[in-house]
Amino acid sequence: MSDFVHSGWGWFVAITTVISLVFCLVLLIIASRRQVMAQDNTTGHVWDEDLKEMNNPLPRWWMWLFVITVVFAAVYLAFYPGLGTSAGSLKWTSVGQYEVEQEKARAAMQPVYAKYVSMTAEQLAQDPAAMGIGQRLFLNNCAQCHGSDGRGSTGFPNLADTDWLGAGTHDYVKTVITEGRVGNMPPMAAAVGSGEDVKNVAHYVLSLSGSAHNSVAAQLGKEKFAACAACHGADGKGNPAVGAPNLTDKIWLHGWGEQAIVNIVTQGKTNAMPAQGKLLTPEQVHVLGAYVRSLSQTTRVAGN
Amino acid sequence: MPSRKPAPSSIATPPPAATGAGGDVREASVFMYQAHKKIYARAVSGWFAGWRWGLVWATQLLFYGLPWLQWNDRQAILFDLGARRFYIFNLVLYPQDFIYLTGLLIVAAYSLFLFTAVAGRLWCGYACPQTVYTEIFMWVERTLEGDRAARMRLDAAPWGADKLLRKGGKQLAWITIGLWTGLTFVGYFTPIRDLAVAASTLGFGPWEWFWICFYGFATYGNAGWMREQVCKYMCPYARFQSAMFDKDTLIITYDAERGEPRGARGRKADPKAAKLGHCVDCNLCVHVCPTGIDIRQGLQYECIGCAACIDVCNGVMDRMQYPKGLIRYDTQNGMAQHLNRSQLLRRALRPRVLVYASVLVLIVAALGTSLALRSPFKVDVVRDRGALARLVDEGWIENVYRLQVMNTTERVQRYRIGVGGLAGMRTDFDGTVVTVDPAQARWVPVAARVAPETAAAAGRGSHPIDFTVERLVDTPADSPHSVVEHSTFVVPR
């Protein structure tokens, strides 16, 4: 509608609407009488030798249907928006209706979630109905990035392993879902040293998890790793308090291999999980969080 | 609007024209919105009226009765729009089975084509809900207000206690039938037994209220007030079925050759001596006509083919001791060429009828076969859209899919999911077997993975794979069955 910002358009629509409605009634009146041949009930017009236009009158009740539609239109326009920029006496808007329906849906869901609110994450993980709800919430809201099975992909964390970038508790998961999370690794090339140094550090990092690496380079990179230790710890086991990942496992969120590590060290990385708090209610987040945590537990039950 | 006169018929007498003096061309101004003229159809009994009442009973026992039948501990026929499951006896249909509804509609359409080509508006005259409910409503009217003459008297009479009682009683009965019909209709979509319980306290939901009242009002209005107006002005079928008529189609016709010149005469009088045809001009055929036409003017678009005029005329012919059939089912060719019964029958097997019949048989057979061979479950495979592929431990490549398994039986079913298409492909999902509740659908995330060597051999890009879902035989009622669904596996660059 941004093309029609001038207030004149509102008047144009309103006037056209009123004229059309009045015209409908006028047409009904004009068409109510007709000249016919008294003798054979035709209009006297003949085409193709024998095709005559007969007087086939409309039933009167049908005419009343027309009148009713015009009256309906007038009543509708009085109550609802339609007459140009008039909002109608009911002040109806599609956004308003959407919000009312949302409110209704929330009220309808209330009893479903009521019993889950008092349950712990462990109890929820044992409840097939709760896990079924959790799975559907996950498929609708999370699977787009984390995958239908929650195992993520490059740049999107695997939720089905036990490697958490934060505390990994139920409360932590709920907070991340509600508020989102920004993971930030600053570019560290300047602190590490030359390009060669960065490569060596990459090999050292590879060696931490026992992955294939060049041991000479790793030895050379070990002392340069001091620049990384502030966050990842001297032993490279990471620090959940600042969201620094553990480098000693074989989990590679941003890609495996020398090149991937070099890229991260030189360029850094800011990775964001968007906040879902506006889309999900706290009760939904409670059940969803329990489902997400259950993905990495072996004792979970299948949802239904 | 240009239109021809009612179907040209060589045997019809022309309609009595509003003749001006000397037939001169005189113009008159007329009001174009015709006032409704009430039709007082006279009661009729006879062979065809018997058929119509038979069909009224058959269709209405079916319509009012079916929702009350129970099957497998649930309503035998229930269209659960909320849950999108459609139960018809043993069948549990999903929205994906919409094709069966299409098939049913095609069967219905071709049946109509076939019947219409052979014998005209059979549907209109005997089985159409408009006819059936009008018949029921007219029966109520007759019972309370009497037959044609009595009704006309009553309408003309001033309002009094008797008139009030009769008219009020009629309205009450009509409204009751209408509401009962509405309740039954809704009973196909919400369990009717719950609905009946709710009816005792008027505790319907808003949509139930709406549809009961709407359908009830439609029944009451159409069968009580609109009647022939529906057929004449609203029904599209009435208008397009002329396309299925030809000169060998059975229609209800008046034998003008035998009937004319019409005229009143004594029962003992010899028509030949009086130079009269067999039509005694009693006008009974006009009085019984539910659409208020005179069949003696030939085939008219208003004629719904109810054969009431045949029944009543045959009665008159009997009393006059003339042969029956002055008004009868006959074809235009039959009338013109004086064809006998076996000749008419032979002409009924003309190409158009045979084509309609063979298409009908073909579609019924296809529909039946398709239903008989229907799979007890359905599977949909949806690839994850976010990430095409990912690398996992030891360089294996994984793609993620969601399988929707739809159980179309009313037992708990277990399924095993397998994948094939690339050497050594493996699936990985929660447990090895999926359990799905009766008539339920379930989404199952499934990861398929291949070894790096296989991926390298297959090359980059997308490769066709198959998911095989196999039903496990848990009860003797389950026969082994498997469904294969195709998808693709992507090996990244």
Alpha-carbon gap, residue B397 to B450, rounded angstroms: 5
What percent of chain B stands above pLDDT 90?
72
Q: Is A148–B400 a contact, with Cβ atoms under 8 angstroms apart?
A: yes
CB-defined contacts A:B, below 8 A: 136
pLDDT of residue B2 exceeding 60? no
| Pairing relationship of beta strands B91-93 and B85-88 according to DSSP bridges | antiparallel
Residue B385 in tokens: 């859209």
Please report how many Cα atoms fall inside a 13 Å half-sphere around the Cα of residue B181, on the Cβ side: 24
CB of B33 less than 8 A from some CB of A: yes
Is A62 within 8 Å of B17 when comparing Cβ atoms?
no
| Cα distance between residue B161 and residue B163, in whole Å | 6
Residue to mutate among A35, A136, A153, A292, with most B CBs inside 10 A, is A153
What is the predicted pLDDT for the residue at B1?
40
In terms of Cα–Cα distance, which of A258, A210, A209, A149 is closest to B398?
Answer: A149
Contacts of B493 in chain A (CB under 8 A): none
Determine phi and psi for A91, rounding to 5 degrees: 55, 40
**Which residues of chain A lie closer than 8 angstroms to B386, CB-CB?**
143-147, 153, 156
Nearest Cβ partner of B18 from A41, A56, A139? A41
Distance of alpha carbon A253 from alpha carbon B132, whole angstroms: 71
Chain B contact for A145 (CB, 8 A cutoff): yes
Every domain of chain B with CATH number 2.60.40.10 lies at: 377-491
Q: For residue A20, what are the CA distances in angstroms to A12, A25, A27, A276, B485?
A: 12, 9, 10, 48, 55
pLDDT of residue A256: 78
Q: Which of B5, B19, B32 to mutate to test the interface with A (most CBs of A within 10 A)?
A: B32
Would you state the pLDDT for residue A14? 93
Classify B87 as helix, strand or coil.
strand
Q: Give the confidence band of B17 by pLDDT, cuts at 50, 70, 90.
A: very low
Round to whole Å and give the CA distance between A31 and A23: 12
B409-451: pLDDT as tens digits = 999 999 999 998 898 888 876 567 888 999 999 888 888 989 9
B4 has a pLDDT exceeding 60:
no
Tell me which chain A residues have a C-beta less than 8 angstroms from the C-beta of B34.
Answer: 57-60
Residue A304: pLDDT band (50, 70, 90) is low
Contact criterion met (CB below 8 Å) for A80 and A92: yes
- Answer whether A39 sits within 8 Å of B26, measured CB to CB: yes
Flag whether residue B394 sits within 8 Å of chain A, measured between CB atoms. Answer: no
User: From CA B136, how far away is CA B129, in angstroms rounded?
Assistant: 10
String of DSSP letters for B180-207: HHHHHHHTTTTTHHHHHHHHHHT---HH
Report the residue from B29, B393, B400 with minimal CB separation from A149. B400
Q: Poorest-confidence range of B151-155, B292-296, B360-364, B419-423?
A: B419-423
The shortest CB-CB distance from B445 to any of A35, A57, A148 is to A148
Residues 6+ apart with CB under 8 A from A167: A240
Of B32, B253, B231, nearest in space to A34 by CA: B32
Mean per-residue pLDDT, B359-386: 93
Inter-chain touch A250–B385, beta carbons under 8 Å: no
Judged by CB atoms closer than 8 Å, whether chains meet at A35 and B28 is answered as yes
- Residue B416 corresponds to which tokens in the numbers above? 């095993």
Q: H or E stretch including B48? A: helix B47-65
Whole-angstrom distance, CA of residue B103 vs CA of residue B123:
19
Q: What pLDDT does A298 receive?
A: 64
Q: Name the nearest CA neighbour of A252 among A175, A153, A177, A128.
A: A153
Q: Are B248 and B333 a contacting pair, CB within 8 Å?
A: yes
Q: Does A42 touch chain B (CB under 8 A)?
A: no
Q: So what's the pLDDT on residue B278?
A: 93
What tokens does B422 get?
Answer: 């690339």
* A253, pLDDT greater than 90: no
Topology of the domain comprising B377-491: Immunoglobulin-like (2.60.40)
A213 within 8 A of A207, measured Cβ to Cβ? yes
Whole-angstrom distance, CA of residue A31 vs CA of residue B1: 13
pLDDT tens digit sequence for B205-256? 999 999 999 999 999 999 999 999 999 999 998 888 888 999 999 999 999 9
Provide the pLDDT for residue A303. 56
In the predicted model, is pLDDT for residue B21 greater than 60? no
- pLDDT for B7 equals 42
Two tokens at A198?
A: 């960065």
B7 close to A (CB below 8 A): no
Out of B401, B429, B443, name the one closest to residue A139 (CB).
Answer: B443
CA B33 remoteness from chain centre: 32
Q: How confident is the model at residue A249 (pLDDT cuts 50, 70, 90)?
A: confident
Task: Name the residue among A183, A161, A174, A135 with its Cα closest to residue A276.
Answer: A174
ipTM value > 0.90: no
CA distance A182 to A272: 4
Position A162 pLDDT exceeds 60 = yes
pLDDT at residue A139 tops 60: yes
Statement: residue B141 has pLDDT above 90: yes
- Locate A301 and state its tokens: 């039950």
Which helix (H) or strand (E) segment is A116 a member of? helix A94-117
Q: Are B454 and B463 in contact (CB under 8 A)?
A: no
pLDDT higher at A153 or A79: A79
Kindly report which listed range (A44-48, B112-116, B139-143) carries the lowest average pLDDT score: A44-48
pLDDT of residue B23: 46
Helix, strand, coil % in chain A, rounded to nearest 5 = 50, 10, 40
Q: What pLDDT is stored for residue B269 in this prediction?
A: 84
Beta-carbon separation of B402 and A58 below 8 A: no
**Mean pLDDT, rounded, for B339-354:** 92
Tokens found for residue B65:
């009765």
**Which pLDDT tens digit goes with each residue over B284-301?**
999 999 999 999 999 898
SS3 B381: strand
More confident residue, B431 or A9: A9
Residue B484: what pLDDT? 95
Query: Any chain B CB within 8 A of the CB of A113?
Result: no
| Cα nearest neighbour of B428 on chain A | A149
pTM for the complete prediction? 0.83
What is the pLDDT at residue B25? 57
The stretch A275-282 carries a mean pLDDT of 92
Q: What is the mean pLDDT of chain A?
A: 89
Amino acid A301: pLDDT: 57
> Looking at residues A198-211, what average pLDDT do you find?
90
More confident residue, B306 or B479: B306
**Residue ranges of domains in chain A, CATH in brackets:** 1-33+44-92 (no CATH), 102-180+274-294 (1.10.760.10), 184-273 (1.10.760.10)
